[in-house]
C-alpha cells in the first residue's frame, strides 16, 4: 500500500503489519481485469479467428497466411441469380482470405471456351475459370487445363463419385466439381391443369391450347432421343443415331410444333415468354430456377422431361473450376476453388441459385431443386471421348434443318450421323 507523507508526519518506529485487503477489493480488481480483457478482444488485433467476419454470413476461419492475386472467369448472365450468388461467394472468399486479391471477370458463355483456349495456348489468360464440362475432353487433350490429380488427394471426400468422374478425362482429374446440371420441364401451374409425365400428356396439353416455347439447341434437345430409345454412339465411339429413336424424337418435336409450340434459336427470346408468365412450358436447366421463381412465384413447377417409350436422357453435366496450367498461382487458385465448393459455399449456391448439389453434406430443401435432382438421376453422363466432341456441329445443324422444315427427320439424322462418323474416321 502506498503512503503519501507530508513534512509534519512521523513514521511510527514499529508499524503494525498491514491488514490483508478486503474481498470487495479483490472482486473490484477482477472486474477491472475482465473489462480490460473484453476491450482487448474487440480491438481487432485480438479478435479470435473463429469469430464471424463482418458482413459475412457463414462462420469461417480467416486465412491471413495466403497472399497473392487470382483472376477468375465466369459466364453467368448479367443480373441473374447465379451471377449474384457467385459474386456473393467471391466476396466471402475475399473476407476469408484478406490478403488474397481476387479479380472476377464475366465472359459471354458462347465465347468463354474459345477465349480460354486461345489465351492458355499463348501462355497467358486468367488463373482459373468455372464452366460446365462441355469441352473438358477437348481442353484436356489440348493441355489447356491443369492435371489436378497431384493436388486434390483426399480433398473431395464429400463429393459424389459421379461428379468427380465428370471432371475426369481418361481417368485423370482436370477440374474441381461444383454442381450437377440436367434440363427438365418447367411449367406454369396457372396454365397447366394436369402435369405432363409422358410425351403423350405433353402433346395433349399443347394441342389443348397450353402455349409452349423451345430453345433450339443440341444440348437442350438431346434428352428427347432417349425418350424414344435412341442412342448416340456405340462402345467404340461410332454414331448409331440413325438406328432408331432419333428420327422418332424429331418427329415428336414437329408434332409439338404443329400443335402450336414455338421454337426459337435465340435463347433469350425463347425463355422470355415463359419467364414473363405467358408460356405454360419451357425446357431449361437449374441455372434459371431462381429467376423463374422470382418471376412466377408459387405458379412455378418442375418435372423431369416426359417419358416416351423409355425414360428421357438429358445430358448430365458437371460444372467445375479449371486451372490454368501456366499460372504462377496454381496453389492459390486451387485453394480458392476448394473454398468456393466447400459445404458452406455449396449450400449457398443450392439455396440461392438453384444449383444441384453434389456433396453429401449439402441438401436441397426446395422441391423444385429436388425435381432437378430426379431429372439428373436418369441423365446421360456427358462423354469426354474425342468422338463425342464432334457431336455438336452436325447435330446442331440437324435440329435447325428439321425445325425449319429444310430436311425430313430421317434424312437429317442420317446426314448428321454420317458427318460425325466421317470426322471421327468411323
Q: Are residues 79 and 174 in the same domain?
A: yes
User: What average pLDDT does this structure show over 121-137?
Assistant: 95
Give the confidence band of 376 by pLDDT, cuts at 50, 70, 90.
confident
Has residue 47 been placed in a domain? no
H or E element, residue 70: strand 68-74
How far apart are the C-alpha atoms of 27 and 19, rounded to whole Å? 17
Question: Cβ contacts of residue 27 below 8 Å, gap of 6+?
Answer: none
State the pLDDT at residue 11: 29
Q: Are residues 87 and 167 in the same domain?
A: yes
User: What average pLDDT does this structure show over 277-304?
Assistant: 95
Q: Give the CATH number of the domain where residue 352 resides.
A: 3.40.190.10
State the pLDDT at residue 250: 98
Place of cell 435447325: 400
Residue 229 has pLDDT above 70, yes or no: yes
State the pLDDT at residue 64: 67
Has residue 85 been placed in a domain? yes
Residue 151 has pLDDT above 90, yes or no: yes
Question: Cβ contacts of residue 66 below 8 Å, gap of 6+?
Answer: 97, 99, 100, 332, 335
State the pLDDT at residue 61: 61
Residue 49 has pLDDT above 90, yes or no: no
As a dihedral over the C-alpha atoms of residue 281, residue 286, residue 289, residue 290, rounded to 10 degrees, the angle is: -170
- DSSP state letter for 306: P
State the pLDDT at residue 230: 98
User: What average pLDDT does this structure show over 275-283?
Assistant: 98
User: What average pLDDT does this structure show over 132-140?
Assistant: 93
The half-sphere exposure of 114 on its side-chain side, counting CA atoms within 13 A, is 4
List, in sequence order, every beta strand (DSSP E) within 265-307: 281-284, 300-303
How far apart are the C-alpha atoms of 143 and 137, rounded to whole Å? 10
Q: Is the dihedral of CA 322, 323, 325, 331 positive or negative?
A: negative
Residue 373 has pLDDT above 90, yes or no: no
Domain count, the chain: 2
State the pLDDT at residue 216: 97
Q: Which residue has the higher pLDDT, 42 or 205?
A: 205
What's the mean per-residue pLDDT of the chain?
87
Has residue 10 been placed in a domain? no
Question: Cβ contacts of residue 13 below 8 Å, gap of 6+?
Answer: none
Has residue 255 been placed in a domain? yes
Q: Are residues 339 and 266 in the same domain?
A: no
Residue 301 has pLDDT above 90, yes or no: yes
State the pLDDT at residue 309: 96
First to last CA, the chain: 100
Q: Are residues 156 and 230 in the same domain?
A: no
Residue 311 has pLDDT above 50, yes or no: yes
User: What average pLDDT does this structure show over 127-137?
Assistant: 95
User: What average pLDDT does this structure show over 73-93?
Assistant: 96
Q: Are residues 269 and 401 in the same domain?
A: yes
Q: Is the dihedral of CA 46, 51, 53, 54 positive or negative?
A: negative
Q: Are residues 91 and 233 in the same domain?
A: no
Q: Which residue has the higher pLDDT, 275 or 24?
A: 275
The parent domain of residue 83 ranges over 68-181+317-377
Q: Render the burial of 247-258: b for 16+ CB within 10 Å, e for the rest.
A: bbbbebbbebbe
Give the confidence band of 71 by pLDDT, cuts at 50, 70, 90.
very high
Give the confidence band of 65 by pLDDT, cuts at 50, 70, 90.
confident
- DSSP state letter for 279: -
How far apart are the C-alpha atoms of 345 and 55, rounded to whole Å? 15
Q: Are residues 209 and 335 in the same domain?
A: no
User: What average pLDDT does this structure show over 272-278?
Assistant: 97
Among residues of the chain, what percentage have pLDDT more than 70? Answer: 85
Q: Are residues 140 and 284 in the same domain?
A: no
Has residue 63 been placed in a domain? no
* Angle in degrees, 0-180, between the axes of helices 246-259 and 199-207, rounded to the nearest 10: 20
Q: Are residues 173 and 191 in the same domain?
A: no
State the pLDDT at residue 44: 37
Give the confidence band of 352 by pLDDT, cuts at 50, 70, 90.
very high
State the pLDDT at residue 66: 87
Has residue 91 been placed in a domain? yes
pLDDT, tens digit (0-9, with 9 covering 90-100), for 242-252: 999 999 999 99
Amino acid at each position: 500500500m502506498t503512503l503519501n507523507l507530508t513534512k509534519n508526519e512521523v513514521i511510527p518506529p514499529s508499524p503494525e503489519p498491514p491488514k490483508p485487503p478486503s474481498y470487495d477489493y479483490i472482486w473490484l480488481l477482477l472486474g477491472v481485469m475482465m473489462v480490460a480483457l473484453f476491450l482487448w478482444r474487440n480491438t481487432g488485433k485480438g479478435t479470435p479467428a473463429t469469430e464471424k467476419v463482418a458482413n459475412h454470413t457463414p462462420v469461417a476461419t480467416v486465412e491471413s497466411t495466403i497472399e497473392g492475386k487470382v483472376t477468375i472467369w465466369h459466364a453467368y448472365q448479367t443480373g441473374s441469380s447465379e451471377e449474384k450468388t457467385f459474386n456473393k461467394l467471391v466476396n466471402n472468399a475475399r473476407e476469408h482470405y484478406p490478403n488474397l486479391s481476387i479479380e472476377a471477370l464475366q465472359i459471354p458463355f458462347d465465347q468463354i471456351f474459345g477465349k480460354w483456349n486461345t489465351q492458355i495456348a499463348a501462355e497467358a489468360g486468367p488463373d482459373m475459370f468455372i464452366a460446365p464440362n462441355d469441352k473438358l475432353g477437348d481442353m484436356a487433350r489440348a493441355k489447356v487445363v491443369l492435371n489436378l490429380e497431384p493436388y486434390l488427394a483426399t480433398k473431395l471426400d464429400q463429393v459424389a463419385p459421379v461428379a468427380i468422374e465428370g471432371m475426369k478425362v481418361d481417368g485423370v482429374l482436370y477440374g474441381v466439381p461444383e454442381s450437377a446440371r440436367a434440363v427438365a420441364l418447367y411449367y406454369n401451374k396457372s396454365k397447366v391443369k394436369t402435369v405432363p409425365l409422358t410425351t403423350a400428356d405433353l402433346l395433349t396439353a399443347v394441342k389443348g391450347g397450353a402455349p409452349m416455347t423451345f430453345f433450339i439447341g443440341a444440348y437442350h434437345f438431346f434428352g428427347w432421343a432417349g425418350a424414344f430409345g435412341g442412342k448416340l454412339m456405340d462402345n467404340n465411339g461410332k454414331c448409331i443415331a440413325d438406328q432408331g429413336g432419333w428420327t422418332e424424337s424429331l418427329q415428336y418435336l414437329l408434332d409439338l410444333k404443329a400443335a402450336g409450340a414455338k421454337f426459337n434459336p435465340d435463347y433469350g427470346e425463347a425463355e422470355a415468354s415463359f419467364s414473363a408468365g405467358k408460356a405454360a412450358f419451357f425446357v431449361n436447366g437449374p441455372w434459371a430456377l431462381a429467376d423463374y421463381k422470382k418471376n412466377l412465384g408459387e405458379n412455378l413447377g418442375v418435372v423431369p422431361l416426359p417419358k416416351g417409350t423409355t425414360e428421357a436422357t438429358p445430358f448430365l453435366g458437371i460444372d467445375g473450376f479449371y486451372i490454368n496450367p501456366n499460372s504462377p498461382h496454381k496453389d492459390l487458385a486451387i485453394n480458392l476453388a476448394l473454398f468456393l465448393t466447400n459445404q458452406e459455399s455449396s449450400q449457398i449456391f443450392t439455396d440461392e441459385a438453384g444449383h444441384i448439389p453434389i456433396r453429401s453434406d449439402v441438401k436441397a430443401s426446395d422441391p423444385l431443386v429436388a425435381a432437378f435432382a430426379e431429372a439428373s438421376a436418369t441423365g446421360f453422363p456427358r462423354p469426354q471421348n474425342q468422338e463425342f466432341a464432334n457431336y455438336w456441329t452436325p447435330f446442331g445443324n440437324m435440329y435447325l434443318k428439321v425445325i425449319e422444315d429444310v430436311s425430313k427427320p430421317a434424312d437429317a439424322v442420317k446426314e448428321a450421323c454420317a458427318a460425325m462418323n466421317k470426322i471421327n474416321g468411323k
